[in-house]
Structure 1
């Protein structure tokens, strides 16, 4: 009997110990999880939009014609609903209302782009529009009056048509054209703007505009046009950077960078990190490596593969243009921050030539059928890819200061109850905060894309990325906040992520491993 009593006594204390340990462990996990929902001190939240997508007033006050004006007017069949950006959100006239929305949400900055042709109607600096300058000065002043920092992009895809008629981004004179434009922008707005972005996503407009009959300027010049466009875009960016650095930084003391489109990449065959890296180098690394790597120039894998393919196809030289040592040095280091646009991820695998692959990579990209869809065909919800790309940037470039300048998902514009978007933001931002706090990634700004539903390029107004709905059938372009606006107000107020379902404390409960959704809330 004594032995039985001793055993019961031992069991009792084992149970107490295990219970206490479990409670402590659970509490520690809960504290850690809670920490990954809270923004670090000083972290800034903002929202954005782009000139052609929101401004409208396409021919007001002497504005010149851009490639997107021409494209949508000439090829309306290439836009899903046959629409254009002639009026768009009419932000040219309603900018004060947009600023008020940003302030009501509590966001600290607003990212917008300038229309080159609104400032320089002829594309050249011989004619500077006073009305164009007045509009942007009024917008910047209105932001400052409301305690909101302007983040200004010089180029978001709307090249003056007169310059495109001379070859656009495939003409190396664009380096001088862009430099002239940049100098006027810095002169006029630099005293009031502390963050500039030169070019938004050169990967996108070079591939889609010069490699396919898909987007403006609607030229299928591959297999050479895409690379020639990218080559000149890097030179033009560097020219603008050095103009700012030499002529304006001493008095204006701002920051200037470029924005890279960096999708996430996940190996279709576990452990195939070589393919993951190759895909990265041909997408994000294409433009980031020349600026951020210690050696500069294009990624080695990119130079090697394009050269081999070119020679195999009968060319006498690589289709990827070659930078001189002088240009390599001129481009290297030309960014004060790493501008990141990220939306989704893909599965990648090596593929034989006869299978469809991304230009020259030898890689086939696909998606997991279990990844949740959005209203945009290419955008699947894969939160883990966001953390993955932030860690890749950290490791590739000695942990640069990252500004996330676009992140968001779309809806079909039929409801104000955008619950999927709320889930998307929650899961992606938790990945970002985890990458910052656990993995040491140097991310200091995050931009909601976008503030407003707007003209979504080839998709027209059939879908919307905005947290604010715009009625494009109403001449007044009435703005109506969606459910996500209320959620963002709470997030900004508390500096903490707020899940759609308060009982769900982990993004994996929403989307599972690598974004696999367990319950639909669309």
Structure 2
């Protein structure tokens, strides 16, 4: 079966500055840099962020590889800790300015549409020490940093994003102790979540002021949507799944697209005595500075039920719901995450039906594999047919949504070259291009060749067995 996509569809890949550039020449550490200094044992094989993919020096070679696999779009991020010398005054580091301008100019010359994200979990360390986004002064400093980015690169960047997956640091750093600073404080997490949304909105405000006379300039936020599926039709399980969605999906989505928070969500925070500090002028900024389009990262759904036993732990969102193990799930055996391609269709329909069919695109989708080197052939090329099948299945459902009126205009994979990740380092590989950590050599995987042909033709062939899997 042939699946053909609309004309001018964006095909690409995504990465981030802190996961690809390395830390050479940065005037500041970020929280991930400092975390590695403090606790290197927390990172897989104790590999830190000093080198990563070294795109700081290798970007001309990387852009040539992007052209070889025919990418017509690419997303990366600017590092706050690299671009800004004085975090209080927003003075720009000239070496960083030169680097980013050359990088972005080369992408433009290669006709690769560029989306730049401003914040990818990489809070400058000096600002983390004063609370990060728990501190409203840091919110204002983020808006200043955003302004400097827009001023410095507005002529080179096609699409902007304020933040990548803003709910993740709330979960990882302030609720569940996955990442440094290992805090578990529901009330503080609620405040950080609200302040993060406010920081996003203030950055959007700066953008709209600067580009008020240029209707072609657009800005978004990248949200990781992980829809919560109820265990069954029992009211208590449906309610639990709905609340899980409110916390981890709808809180950010409603604010970014509609400029508001759902009243049911507000009521839960109030009942749990964790309502954040806010004022009317802040709510007005959120209401009046909404995104122009939506960027969605999708990997896997949540499986949710009501709590089977009375909750006796500390005050946490989990008092309202819990995960359950769905017996029929398909699992990525190399990573342990559920594979559920149909959810990409459900996300598309939710956006169409409940968010004014705002234009949107998939800004991340991907399949992480540990020990991927075992799939190398005699020529040293990784035969990642599992990744090709993964992409085909997800594109099948995305295409179905587009046919049914979803306003989706592109698909980007995580990631272009195998990149470094928080705590996991290089444990799980996601790229179209493999990275040799010792030599920094880049080699296009089989999936890179496959996506190249897909992009040239704007279509691909999907086997019946993959369609029937869904």
- The TM-score with structure 2 as length reference comes to 0.92
Counterpart pick for 1:437 among 373, 378, 403: 403
Residue 473 (structure 1) aligns with: 438
Pair 1:236-2:199 in alignment:
yes
Q: Kindly indicate whether residue 437 of structure 2 is the aligned counterpart of residue 505 of structure 1.
A: no
Residues 337-416 of structure 1 aligned to structure 2 (within 5 Å)? 337-351=293-307, 352-354=309-311, 359-360=317-318, 362-374=320-332, 377=335, 379-412=337-370, 413-414=372-373, 415=375, 416=382
Aligned to 1:22: none
Report the Cα distance in structure 2 between the residues aligned to 1:378 and 1:179, rounded to whole angstroms: 38
Q: Distance in 2 between matches of 1:166 and 1:274?
A: 37
Contact 1:46 1:107 in 2 (8 A): yes
Q: 1:270 offset after TM fit, Å? A: 4.2
Provide Cα deviations, 1:410-445, integer angstroms capped at 9, x if missing partner.
Answer: 11132311121111111011111101112x211112
- Report how far residue 354 of structure 1 moved: 2.5
Q: Secondary structure at the match of 2:170?
A: helix
Residues in 1 aligned to 2:83 and 2:98: alpha-carbon distance in whole angstroms:
9
Indicate the larger mover: 465-474 or 323-332: 323-332
Instruction: Look up the SS of the partner of 1:447 in the other structure.
Output: strand
Choose the corresponding residue for 2:8, options 42, 52, 59.
Answer: 42
Cα-to-partner distance string for 1:184-218 (whole Å, 9 max, x where unaligned): 101110011121000111110111022233224x2
Deviation at 1:360, TM superposition (A): 4.7
CA distance in 1 between counterparts of 2:268 and 2:356 reads: 26
Query: Which residue of the partner structure matches residue 211 of structure 1?
Result: 175
Tell whether 2:223 aligns with 1:260: yes
- Cα gap change, 1:211/1:452 in structure 2, threshold over 3 Å: closer, same or farther? same
* 1:305 counterpart residue number: 268
Query: In the TM superposition, what is the alpha-carbon distance from 1:131 to its structure 2 partner?
Result: 0.5
Which of 47, 56, 66 in structure 2 is aligned with 1:83?
47
1:411-490 pair list within 5 angstroms:
411-412=369-370, 413-414=372-373, 415=375, 416-438=382-404, 440-474=405-439, 477-490=440-453
The 8 Å contact of residues 396 and 467 in structure 2, kept in 1 or not, is answered as no
3-state SS, counterpart of residue 151 of structure 1: strand
Which aligned pairs between 1:111-130 and structure 2 lie closer than 5 A? Answer: 111-130=75-94
- What's the offset of the Cα at 1:466? 0.9
Partner of 2:19 in structure 1? Answer: 53
Distance 1:451 1:368 in 2: 32
| Structure with higher RCO (Cα < 8 A, 6+ apart) | 2
2:242 aligned residue (259, 274, 277): 277
Residues 205-242 of structure 1: CA deviation (Å, up to 9, x unaligned) = 111022233224x2404122221111111111111111
| CA RMSD after TM alignment | 2.1
Give aligned pairs, total. Answer: 457
Displacement, 1:271? 7.0
Query: Taking structure 1 as reference, are residues 324 and 361 closer, same or farther at Cα in structure 2, changes over 3 Å only?
Result: farther
Runs of 4+ in structure 1 over 6 Å off: 355-358
- Identify unmatched segments of 5+ residues in structure 2: 376-381
Q: Which sections of structure 1, spanning at least 5 residues, go unmatched?
A: 1-32, 311-317, 514-522
Contact 1:197-1:256 within 8 A present in 2 as well: yes
| Contact kept in structure 1, 2:243 and 2:320, CA below 8 Å | no
Question: Separation in 1 of the partners of 2:284 and 2:302?
Answer: 33
